[in-house]
Structure 1
Amino acid sequence: MLFNVMTICILVALGAAYFVPRKMWYVIGMTLIYQIKYYYIGAIYHFDDIFNAKYNKTDLPSVSNKIAIVTGGSKGIGAEVVKKLLQCDMEVIIACRTTTAGEKLILEIRKSGITSGRAKVYKLDNCSLDSVREFAKKIKADYDRIHILINNAGVMFIPYRVTKDGFEEQWAVNYLSHFLLTSLLLPLIKIGGNPDDCSRIINITSCAHYISDIDFASINNSSKDTFLTLAAYGQSKLAQTIFTVTLQKLLTDKSLNVLVYCVHPGIVNTDLFKDTILGRYRWLMMGWKTPEQGAIPIIYAALNKDIERKGGIYISNCKEYALPSAALKEKIQKQLFEFSLKQVRLSDFF
């Protein structure tokens, strides 16, 4: 049976190679390789979610004096994060592209019986660096400190699209916009922290960072003909993880009371999969984490006292996991940081 399946696959591949232009062979081959990698790492982490479900829990302490920002906070995991932060009696800023969606979420949360906390909605389009700058400007005008920044907004496996700033959309939304936002809001985040209770920055990454690389040559020079959406997504998430480790080093060197964490929510059933085969056959995602379960490790990273003074780590299921090897290489850390500064036109992150 296995021999028959392999034979069919080889015949199909040979047939495709005959009819497909040679310049597309690389794209097709690499896409298949990445699909295999994603199914492999996805299966591992799905079972990890099952076996470690008992650890995926955290308290919801009352912290009425704190202010948090959640990007992409109007739907999916972000909406569940907002809900849990409000249960902690915090002031929560929902940063989202469509403000009406954020307002609708607040109404739904209040109707569910949660009356604690304060919620506000601000417009933020992570596809636009100008929108990031405008959002940061408004926050600085309205607030003098921020205690928690959760960089959650993201897109996954989308067709090739370039933002008006000239960047591939997954790179721009998942990583670069958050790099810029963190820099612009850092003055408020610094003020929000103190030696006994540090401010926190949470970068939402993915287990995909284990199977990805940073290809600096392709970031600004990708094209529709050679674009690999699976590679682009993984690269953007690996960048988030590397940024977490690098920024924590810089903050520690400056003796700032700010902690940075990267969090994998788990294999979660959300609309992020709408552009994949799983999105067309939702039953394939039965048994995956719910958005509420995916929000729990994010809340853990934002509020848990057991990880105070332990920044720069990677969290999944409310446990610390090993970082990908690329995130530990100082040469890559430095190169990515300097590369990102140039892309967002900053001379100094601080």
Structure 2
Amino acid sequence: MLLEMAAVCIPFMLGSIAYFFPFNTCYAYGTIILQQIKLNYFGVRFWFHDVVNARYNKLDLPLMPEKTAIITGGSRGIGARIVKKLLQCDMNVILACRTVSAGEQLILQIRKSGVISGRPKVYKLDNSSLGSVREFAEQIKKDYSKIHILINNAGVMLVPTYKETEDGFEEQWAVNYLSHFLLTSLLLPLLKAGGRSGESSRIINVTSCVQYMGVINFDDINSCYKGTYFTITAYTQSKLAQVIFTVALQQFLKDRALNVETFSVHPGVVNTELFNHTYLRGSWVMSLAKTPDEGAIPILYAALNKDIENKGGIYISNCKEYPNAAWALQKNIQKQLFELSLKQVKLHDFFQYL
């Protein structure tokens, strides 16, 4: 209904704006309005999806003392809840976070809450810096011989103004997608060592339902058209890229007979700091959203559940499999995204470290 209304209203609004403003201004306003309507539509639709499927969003935590897991963005929000639950599984848990002191403080809080199992360790990782990604990976390779679970969780959402990272990339593209693309490649040797037949290592890409409204604009990957920054476009593009990456990488891993599988996960509409840059933060609407604990469950399901062994490449929401976005299944898009990503992170081959 919202999209149908937009189809009627947007042309009228643009016509009104065009009477007073030049074309570029009209295009910018029209795009922003339409994107906001579509974002709200998907938010409401998948909030309802969370409510209807809440009964499936459950998971028993197995004991896995021999496993080692890495989670990026592990010091707050959903990431912090994942860390706590992985420690309850008695795992070795590596917190990769921008502020080491925040991660250390989280561990103290978890211990005070009564969770004494597991072996946590905090490392510095700034996902807005590809140099930091490389430094983190090198340190992990020195300290560990194998990794069983990599949860690419760190992210930013709907930042209000255009910002480039030190490497020259739009912030949401770099943090949400590109840094994790590089990190996964660098850690593949350890993930390969951690997997075995019937018990593969797992790569979890934390994405969003907005993958369905995303488009990869290879001509304007920074989502800044003639000086106007489209933050919704940038965010949805980064989330779609994660899903395309998941699907394409799974096929590459299968072709090489590696015991490593990839999954993309929508945690749900969750009340976390990610909404700080939106008008919803602090409103009564967010009280209807999932809690961070509830948002952590489908991610943990993808990381731990045995029933999805040999189902790599799937998209998970509320501990159930759902279709990937149509864009993610197009081989030419997968190929183009991989080629661009390799160029941006300065790799000649995604598997060059194996």
TM-score by length of 1: 0.95
Give the corresponding residue for 1:285: 286
- In the other structure, the counterpart of 1:295 is 296
Pairing 1:1-350 to 2, within 5 Å after superposition: 16-17=17-18, 20-158=21-159, 159-220=161-222, 222=224, 225-279=227-281, 281-350=282-351
- Going from structure 1 to structure 2, the CA distance change for 1:20 and 1:83 (only over 3 Å counts) comes to farther
The alpha carbon displacement at 1:196 in A equals 2.2
Segments of 5+ residues of structure 2 without an aligned counterpart are 1-7
Q: Cα distance, 1:13 vs. partner?
A: 6.3
Q: In 2, Cα distance between the equivalents of 1:13 and 1:324?
A: 29
Distance 1:198 1:176, change over 3 A: same
- SS of 1:286's equivalent in the other structure is helix
Q: CA deviation at 1:222?
A: 3.1
Aligned amino acid, residue 184 of structure 2: T
Counterpart AA for 1:35: Q
Q: Which amino acid is 2:108 matched to?
A: L
Equivalents in 1 of 2:50, 2:139: separation in Å? 39
Deviation at 1:226, TM superposition (A): 2.3
Structure 1 residue 10, shift from structure 2 partner: 9.1
Q: Distance in 2 between matches of 1:288 and 1:116?
A: 30
Paired position in structure 1 for 2:4: none
Please give the secondary structure, in 1, of the residue aligned with 2:224: coil
Distance 1:275 1:20 in 2: 28
- DSSP-derived class of the 2:295 partner: helix
Q: TM-score, normalised by structure 2?
A: 0.94
**SS of equivalent residue, structure 1 residue 201:** strand
**What is the alpha-carbon root mean square deviation over aligned residues?**
1.8
CA distance in 1 between counterparts of 2:310 and 2:146 reads: 20
Question: In the alignment, is the contact (CA less than 8 A) between 1:125 and 1:131 conserved in 2?
Answer: yes
Task: State the alpha-carbon separation in 2 of the partners of residues 229 and 124 from structure 1.
Answer: 24
- Which secondary structure does the structure 2 equivalent of 1:266 belong to? coil
Deviations 1:147-189 (A, max 9, x none): 0000000000002100010000000000000000000000000
SS of residue in 2 equivalent to 1:278: coil
What is the letter of the counterpart of residue 207 of structure 1?
C
Amino acid of the residue matched to residue 107 of structure 2? I
Asked whether the 8 Å contact 1:73–1:95 carries over to 2, the reply is yes
Q: Distance in 1 between matches of 2:274 and 2:197?
A: 38
Contact 1:160-1:224 within 8 A present in 2 as well: no
Structure 2 residue identity aligned to 1:175: Y
Deviations 1:210-249 (A, max 9, x none): 0111101101573672220000000000000000000000
Q: SS in structure 2 opposite 1:338?
A: helix
